[in-house]
Amino acid sequence: MDTVFDVERIRKDFPVLSRELPGGRPLVYLDSGNSSQKPFQVIETMREHLAVHYANVGRAMHVLGAESTEAYESAREKVAAFVGAPSRDEIVFTKNASEALNLVAYAFGNPINEDPRFTMGPGDEIVISEMEHHSNIVPWQLLARRTGATLRWFSVTDEGRLDLSDLDELVTERTKIVSIAHQSNVLGTVNPVARVLERVRQVGALMMLDASQSVPHKAVDVAALDVDFLAFTGHKAVGPSGIGVLWARAELLEAMPPFLGGGEMIEAVWMDRSTYAPAPHKFEAGTPPIVEAVGLGAAVDYLSSVGMDAIAAHERELTRYALEALGEVPGLRVVGPTDLEDRGGTVSFTLDGIHPHDVGQILDDEFGVAVRVGHHCARPLHLRFGIPATTRASFYLYNTPAEIDALVRGLHHVRKVFA
Amino acid sequence: MIAESMYQELILEHYKHPQGRGLRDPFDAEVHHVNPTCGDEITMRVRLGDGDKVEDVSYDGQGCSISQAAASVLHELATGSTVGETLAVVDEFTRLMQGRGQVEPDEDVLGDAVAFAGVAKFPARVKCALLAWMAYKDALARSAS
């Protein structure tokens, strides 16, 4: 992208960024890792679909039904292109990344799935990591309990990197699936997918990526990554909530059993049995989140028009600036990599002797700075670092260095209150 | 500017210098309560004496200034008082916290706990203030049974 990245122009696309908070404070939104704000292009596309194109999809034999179906399916095509999927039929719409992860976990050890890649029982192993979001932990715990398989995990180094020292002992012929975050939602760490995948292929296992924190922020190409499954969610990528995505290789989707049963996922139904529609519809039972899917289509259009490489470069500069500025705050400790190598724009930290809830409250209330405080749905990672919670600032295309200055000013004030 | 009124001097004082912190023997009941949304936790023990007297309330835990200060204030108010009197304070404190900032606190009943009145305006923080108090109520119920 040779175009100049004009953050002020981008900010004008996001109506919420120009609103005032009670008391006349400006909004400093540093919580995009939690959920991003929406540009008017997305809001307008969704409004217009609801206003003049809305009908159910895939079944209505009238103009609106055709327009709605066309919009829904073209959103699928946009998403496929956005993540480099070879076919739009490899894009399954879910309600969020959690559902996408659960859908895949459900395919294993399932009596109606006889494909050997998906059989699972005692002696088989599932490998995740200590830095996962709960949504990439709990579905696998449930799977292990259902099937008697063993759940194992990579540990995390003191620097917040995936510890690959025991890669060969952890990923073995017993491993059926390895599922890890592409980018940590707490540490910002970008994981070395290729190295893990090489071992996964050696042992004949499958690999899934939770890409909720990477797809919104940089160019992600599933063909280049060469993994088997990838999940992400719309609301972190300037799209609406209620829509998520599972990408999987076509042959795997074909082998996998349906997840939810219902309308639109069938081919033919008798009273005692059914046959199923081909993927992706096999996994989209019931009326889908139509307007949300259309909104996600507009979101990836928007991101593409700005340019994913330009967004990544902008966030990299913000992260560099933030790591430097935060380093000057006494008593502040960054949890995660303090260099820019394989790292995204999410910075979590602790402040000596001050609980993150108190940090977050004062930042919000006095400075209009919105950060996330707590364990960020990654409790095991916090346990590993021996801390109950962190304060997390996460950046996106619309953030500015001045907003990081506001965060730092706020942190100095927090320290004064609790001195 | 609102949070300033939540972080009363008395709350910050109790947070920085918690009263009666640490688990002590003997005790009649011990409970462990957590706030799953923020990870705050508290372990609390109560020791009752003759005539419903609360001999000791001891606790240990981790969490924000609000949750930890609330435990410290509770220790001060409850120790040496009676079960009946403290339950009246718990009820008034709960009423204040759940009042969305619309409830006029009864200072005679609440004593120092009135400093938490500002917290009631922050629904996300009400659970922090109530953590120790709900644990105390639970511990009393268990020591009676």
B19: contact with A, CB 8 A cutoff? no
pLDDT exceeds 60 at position B112: yes
Task: Say if CB A361 and CB B3 are below 8 A apart.
Answer: yes
Handedness of CA A299, A301, A303, A306 (dihedral sign): negative
Average pLDDT of the segment spanning A19-47: 96
Return the pLDDT at A369.
Answer: 97
- φ and ψ of A258, to 5 deg: -60, 160
In A257-306, which ranges are continuous DSSP H helix? Answer: 290-306
Q: How confident is the model at residue A14 (pLDDT cuts 50, 70, 90)?
A: very high
- Chain B interface mutation, best of A34, A350, A361, highest count of B Cβ atoms under 10 Å: A361
Among candidates A305, A302, A298, which has minimal Cα distance to A53?
A298
Which of A355, A375, A379 faces B63 most closely, judged by CB atoms?
Answer: A355
Pairing state between β A206-210 and A175-181 = parallel
Owner of token pair 């194992």: A152
Task: Say if CB A232 and CB A97 are below 8 A apart.
Answer: yes
- Chain A interface mutation, best of B64, B119, B126, B128, highest count of A Cβ atoms under 10 Å: B64
Q: What is the ipTM of this complex?
A: 0.84
Q: How confident is the model at residue A419 (pLDDT cuts 50, 70, 90)?
A: confident
Query: What residues have CB less than 8 Å from A89, skipping those under 6 apart?
Result: A250, A253, A278, A279, A280
Mind spelling out the 3-state secondary structure of chain B? CHHHHHCCHHHHHHHHCCCCEECCCCCCEEEEEEECCCCEEEEEEEEECHHHEEEEEEEEEECCHHHHHHHHHHHHHHCCCEHHHHHHHHHHHHHHHCCCCCCCCCHHHHHHHHHHHHHHHCHHHHHHHHHHHHHHHHHHHHHHC
Return the pLDDT at B3.
Answer: 55
pLDDT digits (tens, 9 = 90+) for A98-134: 999 999 999 999 999 989 999 999 999 999 999 999 9
Residue A379 to residue B39, Cβ atoms within 8 A: yes
pLDDT exceeds 90 at position A4: no
Residue A374 to residue B39, Cβ atoms within 8 A: yes
Query: How many interchain CB pairs under 8 A, A with B?
Result: 53
| Residues 33 through 52 of chain B touching chain A, CB cutoff 8 Å | 37-41
B1: contact with A, CB 8 A cutoff? yes
**Chain B: nearest CA to A224, how far in angstroms?**
38
Return the pLDDT at B7.
Answer: 87
List the beta bridge partners of residue B43. Answer: B32, B60
Task: Say if CB A382 and CB A334 are below 8 A apart.
Answer: no
Return the pLDDT at B108.
Answer: 87
pLDDT digits (tens, 9 = 90+) for A147-175: 999 999 999 999 999 999 999 999 999 99
B9: contact with A, CB 8 A cutoff? no
Q: Which residues of B touch A389 (CB under 8 A)?
A: 38-39
Average pLDDT of the segment spanning A175-191: 98
pLDDT exceeds 90 at position A254: yes
Cis peptide before A278 (omega within 30 of 0): no
pLDDT exceeds 50 at position A2: no
Pairing state between β A369-370 and A274-276 = unpaired
pLDDT exceeds 90 at position B67: yes
Q: A25-59: buried (b, 16+ CB within 10 Å) or exposed (e) per residue?
A: bebbbbbbbbebbbbebbbebbeebeeebbebbbe
Owner of token pair 């400006």: A26
Which of B41, B62, B64 faces A358 most closely, judged by CB atoms?
Answer: B64
**Enclosing H/E stretch for A212:** none
- Looking at every residue in chain B, the average pLDDT score rounds to 90
Return the pLDDT at A88.
Answer: 97
**Whole-prediction pTM:** 0.92
**Chain B: nearest CA to A393, how far in angstroms?**
17
Which of B3, B39, B66 faces A362 most closely, judged by CB atoms?
Answer: B3
Which of A389, A417, A418 faces B38 most closely, judged by CB atoms?
Answer: A389
Candidate list A105, A252, A322, A377, residue with the active-site label: A377
Per DSSP, A59 falls in state S
Handedness of CA A308, A309, A314, A317 (dihedral sign): positive
Residue A388 to residue B6, Cβ atoms within 8 A: no
A1: contact with B, CB 8 A cutoff? no
pLDDT digits (tens, 9 = 90+) for A209-239: 999 999 999 999 999 999 999 999 999 999 9
Q: How confident is the model at residue B1 (pLDDT cuts 50, 70, 90)?
A: very low
